[in-house]
Chain A
Amino acid sequence: MREYIELTKPRITWLILMSTGVGYFFGLDRTASLNWPLLIHTIVGTGLIASGTAALNQWWERESDKLMRRTAGRPLPMGLMTARRALWFGIALAVLGAAELWIWVNPLSSILGLFTLAAYLFVYTPMKSRTHLSTVVGALPGAVPPLMGYAASSGILTREAWSLFFILFIWQFPHFLAIAWMYRDDYARAGIRMLPVVEPDGQSTSRQIILYASTLIPISLFPFLFGMSGKIYLVGALILGFWFLYTGVRVAFDRTNVRARAVLLASVIYLPAIYGLMVLDRPSF
Chain B
Amino acid sequence: MAASHSGAENTYHAGLFRWSVLLACCTLLLVVAGGLVTSRDAGLSVPDWPLSYGKLMPKMEGGILYEHGHRMIATMVGMFTIVSLVWIFRADRRRWLRILAVIALLAVIAQGVLGGLTVLLLLPWYISSSHATLAQLFFSTTVAMALFTSRRWLAGPTVVPEDGANPLRGLSLAAPICVICQLFLGAAARHKAIGSIYHICAAPIVTGVILWLSMRILLHYAQNRELRIGSVLLLSITLVQVFLGVGAFMTRVAYVDAVQPMPLMVTFTVLHVATGALTLAASVILAILVRRNLGARVNALSMAA
> Which chain B residues in 224-275 approach chain A with CB under 8 Å?
235, 239, 242-243, 246-247, 249-250, 254
Docked pose: A136 CA to B239 CA in angstroms: 30
Contact B243 A265 (CB under 8 A): no
Contact A258 B303 (CB under 8 A): yes
Residue of chain B at shortest CB distance from A282: B250
Docked pose: A280 CA to B244 CA in angstroms: 9
Contact A281 B246 (CB under 8 A): yes
Contact A277 B246 (CB under 8 A): yes
Q: Chain B residues with Cβ under 8 A from A277's Cβ?
A: 243, 246
Q: Chain B residues with Cβ under 8 A from A258's Cβ?
A: 219-220, 303, 305
Contact B204 A265 (CB under 8 A): no
Partner among B235, B249, B303 whose Cβ is within 8 Å of the Cβ of A269: B235
Q: Is B32 an interface residue (CB 8 A)?
A: no
> Which chain A residues in 228-243 approach chain B with CB under 8 Å?
232, 239, 243
Partner among B215, B235, B239, B250 whose Cβ is within 8 Å of the Cβ of A281: B250
A262-B215, A265-B215, A281-B250 in contact; A276/B239 too (CB < 8 A)?
yes
Residue in A256, A266, A280, A285 whose Cβ sees the most chain B Cβ within 10 Å = A280
> Which chain A residues in 269-285 approach chain B with CB under 8 Å?
269, 272-273, 276-277, 280-281, 285
- Assign chain B's interface to a size class: 10 to 19
Docked pose: A282 CA to B250 CA in angstroms: 9
A262-B219, A269-B235, A277-B246 in contact; A285/B254 too (CB < 8 A)?
yes
Smallest beta-carbon distance A5→chain B, Å:
21
Docked pose: A285 CA to B268 CA in angstroms: 14
Q: Is B171 an interface residue (CB 8 A)?
A: no
Docked pose: A262 CA to B218 CA in angstroms: 8
Q: Is A189 an interface residue (CB 8 A)?
A: no
Q: Is A131 an interface residue (CB 8 A)?
A: no
Docked pose: A280 CA to B239 CA in angstroms: 13
Interface of B is mostly: helix
Contact B254 A257 (CB under 8 A): no
Q: Is A66 an interface residue (CB 8 A)?
A: no
Smallest beta-carbon distance B288→chain A, Å:
23
Contact A256 B246 (CB under 8 A): no
Q: Chain B residues with Cβ under 8 A from A262's Cβ?
A: 215, 219
Q: Is A74 an interface residue (CB 8 A)?
A: no
> Which chain B residues in 111-145 approach chain A with CB under 8 Å?
none
> Which chain A residues in 243-274 approach chain B with CB under 8 Å?
243, 256-258, 261-262, 265-266, 269, 272-273
Residue in A239, A258, A277 whose Cβ sees the most chain B Cβ within 10 Å = A258
Q: Is B304 an interface residue (CB 8 A)?
A: yes
> Which chain B residues in 33-70 approach chain A with CB under 8 Å?
none
Docked pose: A258 CA to B216 CA in angstroms: 10
Docked pose: A138 CA to B12 CA in angstroms: 52
Q: Chain A residues with Cβ under 8 A from B218's Cβ?
A: 261, 265
Q: Chain A residues with Cβ under 8 A from B242's Cβ?
A: 273, 276
Q: Chain B residues with Cβ under 8 A from A239's Cβ?
A: 204
Docked pose: A257 CA to B249 CA in angstroms: 40
- Can you list 24 A-B pairs with a CB-CB distance of less than 8 A? A232-B246, A232-B249, A232-B250, A239-B204, A257-B304, A257-B305, A258-B219, A258-B220, A258-B303, A258-B305, A261-B218, A261-B219, A262-B215, A265-B218, A269-B235, A269-B239, A273-B242, A276-B239, A276-B246, A277-B243, A280-B243, A280-B250, A281-B250, A285-B254
Query: Which B residues form the contact surface with A (CB < 8 A)?
Result: 204, 211, 215, 218-220, 235, 239, 242-243, 246-247, 249-250, 254, 303-305
Q: A258-B220, A280-B247 are in contact. List 15 more A-B contacts (CB 8 A).
A: A232-B246, A257-B304, A257-B305, A262-B215, A265-B218, A266-B215, A269-B211, A269-B239, A273-B239, A276-B239, A276-B243, A277-B243, A280-B243, A280-B250, A281-B246
